[in-house]
Amino acid sequence: MFLAQRRFCFLGNKTEFLKTICSSKILGFSTYSKMSSKLKNAKRIEGLDSNVWVEFTKLAADPSVVNLGQGLPDISPPTYVKEELSKIALVDNLNQYTRGFGSDLGPCPCAADGKTTELNPRPCPFSLESSCLSSVTTAVLTVSGHPSLVKALSCLYEKFYQNQIDPNKEILVTVGAYGSLFNAIQGLIDEGDEVIIIVPFYDCYEPMMRMAGATPVFIPLRSKAVCGKKWSSSDWTLDPQELESKFNSKTKAIILNTPHNPLGKVYTKEELQLIAHLCIKYDTLCISDEVYEWLVYTGNKHLKIATFPGMWERTVTIGSAGKTFSVTGWKLGWSIGPHHLIKHLQTVQQNTIYTCATPLQEALAQALWIDIKRMDDPECYFNSLPKELEVKRDRIVHLLESVGLKPIVPDGGYFIIADVSSIDADLSDMMNNEPYDYKFVKWMTKNKKLAAIPVSAFCNSETKSQFEKFVRFCFIKKDSTLDAAEEIIKTWNRQRSQSGQNV
């Protein structure tokens, strides 16, 4: 042990010691200059570095391009949502870590009689121990989320589930629904597990599964023949025998996405019953990505598979503030499920980011309370947004049809896919080894100044060819954006009729 000296914080014999190391035959100077071979990636991310969005976002970044590609609203979030965040930004103590652990949150503020109860959801501006949080009685072992937010989420979702939802044990607030997917997969999926993914799929499901060492097992949605009526997302279904053939004893989970991105399919009761039946038969988990749950159009109803008999105990249901309130940049999402599943997501959380941003969680809680209290009101954003989007959906269906594309009318969500095979675009100067839709989107962005996303980006390598004639458009865009898209379509049409070609 070397002697310590107060002024020089290092041990005396350093120079001698370094000389010893440096002259060691075992080590030698050559290691200093060699390109290091150890500083390489962990195996878990091998092959996961590419990302469709990076390429296509860059392409659409040109300001002259009308971007109907990436799924982000260019409409303003509702005023009261913005206002809540502005108010919260003035509260000093909401700028520190939230009390992410569970606490007894007292009675629900949305009491039926409308009176303010002793539980006032407004944060006390003078202390973190706000009047809305009564004394702590429950010891919870892991992080769940900002207290007022998990409370609001439990109040909201209890309306849909038979049972009460424990805000501390059955909810976890995450960094977007993306974070919930990650936590669910990291917490519940093991190396060697099989997980069923329905194609097309939101593109992160596959790399997240691979990062967890799981084997994705794919099953495509298939369209039935459509004669005479409009092609709808409901025409795309899973073949029951084919679906059952994908389940076996290694199947740990199935990922369900309803309403579906990119198709816009809203799974029916019968379809969910089939999936539920198989999950129970094969003792499988269900990870249900329901981020677009409020965006369901006339004639359709969003159903939660976790409410089906035998499903609560095996389902993690994921939601998103970004999609609920048109605030994708807040990156807040949540997972809801039984404690024996959620606790593992909570463990992942405490070893990854620990807590999410406090002011955003508080603002989200306040926004939720506003809408929870008026669920039947047309002004409630959960009702007004789908109404607003249905008009935009119908408009874009019409626009795409007018230029010879064959759209599939979505029953939900804010995307629409269209078959582009009728267009004879000259794709000869595009890269040969890319799927047709990648080339088409690049051609359309470059030549028509309209950006979209190729649907084969949502497919695994084997199924890409089944979907390479489809392109996805996002319609949660303000009217002026859709007007600009309309102009492009009209010009495109004129050019087609003038040239007599189908381009």
> Segment 317-346, which members bind another protein (CB under 8 A)?
322, 326-332, 340-341, 344
Backbone phi and psi for residue 30, each to the nearest 5 degrees, phi listed first = -60, -25
Question: Which 347-406 residues touch another protein, going by CB under 8 A?
Answer: 347-348, 350-360
Whether omega before 262 lies within 30 degrees of 0, making that bond cis, reads yes
Q: Which of 461, 464, 452 is nearest to 417 (CA)?
A: 452
Cα gap 337→335, rounded to integer Å: 7
Alpha helices, DSSP H only, in 225-357?
240-246, 269-281, 321-325, 339-350
Q: Is residue 482 involved in binding another protein (CB under 8 A)?
A: no
Report if residue 292 touches another protein, rule: CB under 8 A. Answer: no
Nearer to another protein, 41 or 428 (CB): 41
User: Please, what is the minimum distance in Å from the beta carbon of residue 88 to another protein?
Assistant: 8
Closer CB to another protein, 260 or 314, in the complex: 314
Q: Is there binding between residue 25 and another protein (CB under 8 A)?
A: no
Whether the CB-CB separation of 433 and 420 falls below 8 Å is answered with no
Nearer to another protein, 85 or 409 (CB): 85
Footprint of another protein on 74-103 (CB under 8 A): 74, 76-77, 82, 85-86, 89-90, 92-99, 101, 103
Stretch binding another protein (CB under 8 A), from 133-141, 162-170, 216-224, 383-391:
133-141
The pairing of strands 470-474 and 415-419 is antiparallel
Q: Determine the Cα–Cα distance for residues 100 and 108; give it in Å rounded to an integer.
A: 19
Nearer residue to another protein within complex by CB, 283 or 388 = 283
Nearer Cβ to another protein, position 100 or 220? 100
**How many residues of this chain interact with another protein, rule: CB under 8 A?**
108
**Parallel/antiparallel/unpaired status of strands 470-474 and 453-454:** antiparallel
Residue choice 25, 32, 228, 229 for contact with another protein (CB under 8 A) = 32
> Residues 73-80: contacts with CB within 8 Å, 24+ apart?
73/326, 73/328, 73/414, 73/476, 73/477, 74/476, 74/477, 74/478, 74/481, 75/326, 75/476, 75/477, 75/478, 76/326, 77/325, 77/326, 77/327, 78/325, 78/326, 78/367, 78/381, 80/367, 80/370
Q: How far apart are CA 78 and CA 58, in angstroms?
A: 28
- Closest contact distance (angstroms) between CB of 269 and another protein is 23
CB closer to another protein, 202 vs 467: 202
Q: How far is the CB of 284 from another protein (least distance, A)?
A: 9
- Reduced 3-state DSSP string for 123-174: CCCCCCCCCCCCCCCCCCCCECCCHHHHHHHHHHHHCCCCCCCCCCCCEEEE
Q: Per CB under 8 A, does 190 bind another protein?
A: yes
Assess 275 for contact with another protein (CB under 8 A): no
**Only segment of 149-157, 164-172, 205-213, 407-415 that touches another protein (CB under 8 A):** 205-213
45 binds another protein (CB under 8 A): yes
Say how far apart CA 441 and CA 434 lie, in whole Å: 11
Beta carbon nearer to another protein, 19 or 398: 19
- Which of the ranges 44-52, 161-169, 412-420, 452-460 carries the binding residues for another protein, by CB under 8 A? 44-52
Residues 4-23 that bind another protein (CB under 8 A): 4-6, 8-11, 13-14, 17-18, 21-22
Shortest separation between residue 211's beta carbon and another protein, angstroms:
5
Q: Please tell me whether residue 315 binds another protein under the rule CB under 8 A.
A: no
